[in-house]
Structure 1
Amino acid sequence: MPDTLVLIFFIGVLAVLLTYLIPAGSFDSQTISYLVDGVEKTRETIDPSSFAYATDKSGELVYNTVGLFESGGGIGLMNFIFEGLVSGDKWGSAVGVIMFMLVIGGAFGVVMRTGTIDNGILRLIDKTKGSEALFIPVLFLLFSLGGAVFGMGEEAVAFAIIIAPLMVRLGYDGITTVMVTYVATQIGFATSWMNPFSVAVAQGIAGIPVLSGAGLRMGIWVFFTLIGIGFTLLYASRIKKNPSASFSLKGDAHFKKQSLESKASRWGLGDTLVLLTVAATTIWVVWGVVVHAWYLPEIASQFFTMGIVAGILGVIFRLNAMTANDIAAAFKEGAGIMLAPALLVGAAKGVLLILGGDSAEPSVLNSILNSAGGAISGLPEVVAAWFMYLFQSVFNFFVTSGSGQAALTMPLMAPLADIAGVTRQVAVLAFQLGDGLTNIIVPTSASLMATLGVCRIDWGDWARFCWRFILLLFVLSSVIVVGAHLAGFA
């Protein structure tokens, strides 16, 4: 398989070609209001009836063609990676996600330098011999719950840094780590009954009671979480018996080498305090996300503080003979590990900028959205329900943000559902499943690329592994969406 960066470059070439084939269009915006837990919220969305293709003074359609180069901050094929890297702000992709990755990479680099995690893993393995398989279902369940309750996604990157060496030393691999962390969060995200970043926003825009239909969604969450646990256990047991069957052998070699280099296990007061610092930070971050809606800046700050505290403890208790300079060196090394996935995040964002991104200006992306809506409106009811799910799955390649995709697509899908004879609740369900589950494979997902990066897995190797799982989820989701329509889910 080609390197991930090579794949994204060719996707960028395809996006450039689309700008020559599809004219640019735009929607007017509108502000809608909806209630969440009794609190009125507002959001800018598109007006689905306002679409128009851009025309020049002579009435000819405008094509926002993209060339090789563009100056003045414009987008071109040869500068789409740079523009992607510097796009956005501290609250989101790409620069916010990239800085988040560098900070938490550095913070956990300091924690790892103390040796506490390595020694803790060795002691844990010694004390749990014969019951290692319990780690997989327990971790998968916890991360899936995190995705369902508060939209956990980017946070999985931090945990993957710790869990990856644990999984390898238990006889599993990096793929297993991605499954129990990031994939679990996306299954929870896609089937959530209360996620404020997807289902609440989508239902508010669709004009149906926010957090309604929770009973069915809870059942779907349980079902998909069990499917994910079962699939992961089957793969993990196969790798345990035959390590050479792993899809992540290159990355696993790094963690196995660390294992061989590990010295005899030690444990003292300093190690206990470092571990308590990591645990307390984790609990504190989860509390902040749930209660105060913390996002990238706040989460990164808490993990940075964790790294500083762990480093000071390492110096005081002479863990691995640490000095103040070692704290700085470990932080830089940890951040350096994140540079490769950070480049991929910027490159993926650059592809979206070629197509117009989420700008209010006329774009190819708006034209694709409008054409898909027109095609769906003329289909039979059952087919329309399924096509809504199919469209959301494909569109998620271009807009991986749950709330962003809801703001773009739900104002169009909600009235189209009325025309096609599909309930708006089913339209929201199609959005949820399409938006969340394809995050597991699309290379434009910043969180996926970051998690793969810390586990040292190429996207091509990941795709070779997970296409069967994605196909299974796609078939099951299709059955659920069609079944919900036939049952009159409202």
Structure 2
Amino acid sequence: MNKEKKKFQMPHTYVIIFFVVLFAALLTYIVPAGVFETEDVSYDNSGTEETRTVLVPDSFSLEEGGSSGTSLFEGGGGAGLLNYVFEGLVSGDKWGSAVGVVAFIIIIGGAFGIIMKTRAIEEGILSVIDRTKGKEVLIIPIMFFLFSLGGAVFGMGEEAIAFAMILVPLVIALGYDAITGIMITYVATQIGFATSWMNPFGVAIAQGVSDVPVLSGSPFRIIMWLVFTAVGTFYTWRYASRVRKDPTRSLAYKSDQYFRDDFEQKDIKVNFKTGHMLVILTVLAGVSWIIWGVIENAYYIPEIASQFFTIGLAAGIIGVIFKLNNMRVNDIAEGFAQGAKDLLPAALVVGMAKGIVIILGGDDPTTASVLNTILNSAGQLFSGVPEMVSAWFMFLFQSIFNFFVVSGSGQAALTMPLMAPLADIAGVSRQVAVLAFQLGDGLTNIIIPTSAALMGTLGAARLDWGLWFKFIIKFQLILFGLASLFVITAVLINFN
């Protein structure tokens, strides 16, 4: 009897993170913890004086007593191995990972749960399909360009979660898949973020703390952004075209069934009413409000979460007034609860992933941690090697370090005070060191499971990280090679 071979099943995201946590715990027994001293530095950002707390490069010292190792369990709110889920979930504050991002994801999920309850999105999608037959392919280059521009101009990231909730069902209804929707939203924002000439959360801070004129070197970076955006658009368009010809080729084919169920033949008849239009206009007005707030008033997670809640509430009231999908007042609450529940797995991943950093001692340079020791040791690798090799190693290091510190501004404050003087020693311009930082920081956000924005977007698309990794790794390698080429070119032309 011939037994059918079992296909390899990609481990669940929770399983992957658990084993990474085990590895991090093992490192605490091998690698000694260390600390840095910090100082405040000020820099000019387009006429505004900004201040950041950064580490002092030569101040590193090991903690006395060597490696203590992570215990299996810690009482009193400590960070033992078995505490990593809870401690990860409650770490940080409302301005960032994890607790702020967890709340952000749940509230956005709830808001869109209300919007989906009105069926305005589904009816709007069907109306778009009906009116744009034969021109559907244009959505890919247009959306990819706009989202990449958003990432480059104002550091768009977490906002992509909400847009994915709208565009993923749309592209699936057009015959593509959830992966296509993630590519034209989240991936596009991170390409723009990584290659930006003016991103206030990445390149501007890195230049400021490295004593490089803020927003300098723009022509080189604009060319780089155009090249990366073009490559990303072409790759996405070619992939999407293949999937449209044969949807079963998609890794997301099974999970996309959730969205396809909304577009069965019985629903193809367009029933787009005035109430649906008002809900769509409310969403568009709300998104415009968010973009204005981010650009003009530096709105971030707390404000944006509240704005999305307002959008959802307004959409629910319209749904009740116009009796969309036979909505009643209680349906607003039920829609919010269902939407929040749908994104709860993604929110849990954010906390679990943050637990990895906590097990390593956290990302505070003034508190003894294994992460500080890794940062200091990596910094010593760049001395005594050729300029191009030093620059490329900086890019490689920033790419790896981003797994532990996903925040662009946080990584800039931690690494650039160390990389900038090392660049001087290695004969590499500080502008190239900043370039290595922004490419390493931004591009790896596309694949690392510690990225809250990525996991939130995957949650909105109902795609497991393991399947996403299987798809995106090839594109990630292409981006890595292209980024390496730009870093080496920058050294050759003495980018300054």
* TM-score (norm: length of structure 1): 0.98
> What letter matches 2:27 in structure 1?
L
2:176 is matched with 172
> What letter matches 1:229 in structure 2?
T
1:433 is matched with 439
Match of 1:151 among 135, 155, 172: 155
1:59 is matched with none
> CA offsets, 1:203-246, max 9 Å, x none?
00100100000010000000000000000001000100111110
2:338 is matched with 333
> What letter matches 1:288 in structure 2?
G
- How far apart, CA to CA, are the structure 2 residues paired with 1:38 and 1:194? 14
2:3 is matched with none
Match of 1:123 among 123, 127, 132: 127
* TM-score (norm: length of structure 2): 0.97
Paired residues in the alignment total 485
Q: Is residue 406 of structure 2 the alignment partner of residue 400 of structure 1?
A: yes
Task: Give the secondary structure class of the aligned counterpart of 1:148.
Answer: helix
> CA offsets, 1:414-437, max 9 Å, x none?
000000000000000000000000
* Alignment RMSD (CA, Å): 0.9
- How far apart, CA to CA, are the structure 2 residues paired with 1:273 and 1:255? 23
> What letter matches 2:20 in structure 1?
I
> What letter matches 1:403 in structure 2?
S
Structure 1 unmatched runs, 5+ = 57-61
Determine if contact 2:126/2:268 at 8 Å carries over to the other structure.
no
Determine if contact 2:14/2:349 at 8 Å carries over to the other structure.
yes
- Report 1:81-120 matches (<5 A): 81-120=85-124
Q: Is residue 464 of structure 2 the alignment partner of residue 458 of structure 1?
A: yes
Alpha-carbon shift at residue 365 of structure 1 (Å): 0.4
Q: Summarize the Cα distance change of 1:64–1:134 in structure 2 as closer, same or farther, 3 Å threshold.
A: farther
Determine if contact 1:90/1:96 at 8 Å carries over to the other structure.
yes
Determine if contact 1:250/1:457 at 8 Å carries over to the other structure.
no
Q: Is residue 301 of structure 2 the alignment partner of residue 301 of structure 1?
A: no
Determine if contact 1:94/1:346 at 8 Å carries over to the other structure.
yes
Structure 2 unmatched runs, 5+ = 1-9
- How far apart, CA to CA, are the structure 1 residues paired with 2:64 and 2:362? 20
Alpha-carbon shift at residue 258 of structure 1 (Å): 1.7
- Report 1:158-197 matches (<5 A): 158-197=162-201
- How far apart, CA to CA, are the structure 2 residues paired with 1:443 and 1:172? 24
> What letter matches 1:315 in structure 2?
V
Task: Give the secondary structure class of the aligned counterpart of 2:254.
Answer: helix
Determine if contact 1:29/1:46 at 8 Å carries over to the other structure.
yes
- How far apart, CA to CA, are the structure 2 residues paired with 1:433 and 1:285? 26
Return structure 1 stretches of 4+ with deviation > 3 angstroms: 261-264
Alpha-carbon shift at residue 64 of structure 1 (Å): 4.0
- How far apart, CA to CA, are the structure 2 residues paired with 1:344 and 1:40? 36
> CA offsets, 1:293-330, max 9 Å, x none?
00011001111011111111111111111000011000
2:241 is matched with 237
Determine if contact 1:144/1:187 at 8 Å carries over to the other structure.
yes
2:293 is matched with 288
- How far apart, CA to CA, are the structure 2 residues paired with 1:14 and 1:262? 49
- How far apart, CA to CA, are the structure 2 residues paired with 1:297 and 1:182? 20
Task: Give the secondary structure class of the aligned counterpart of 1:338.
Answer: helix
Match of 2:76 among 68, 72, 75: 72
- How far apart, CA to CA, are the structure 1 residues paired with 2:193 and 2:254? 30
> What letter matches 1:106 in structure 2?
G
Determine if contact 2:432/2:487 at 8 Å carries over to the other structure.
yes
- How far apart, CA to CA, are the structure 2 residues paired with 1:64 and 1:257? 53
Alpha-carbon shift at residue 263 of structure 1 (Å): 6.7
- How far apart, CA to CA, are the structure 2 residues paired with 1:263 and 1:434? 45
1:374 is matched with 380
- How far apart, CA to CA, are the structure 2 residues paired with 1:29 and 1:73? 26
- How far apart, CA to CA, are the structure 1 residues paired with 2:90 and 2:308? 23
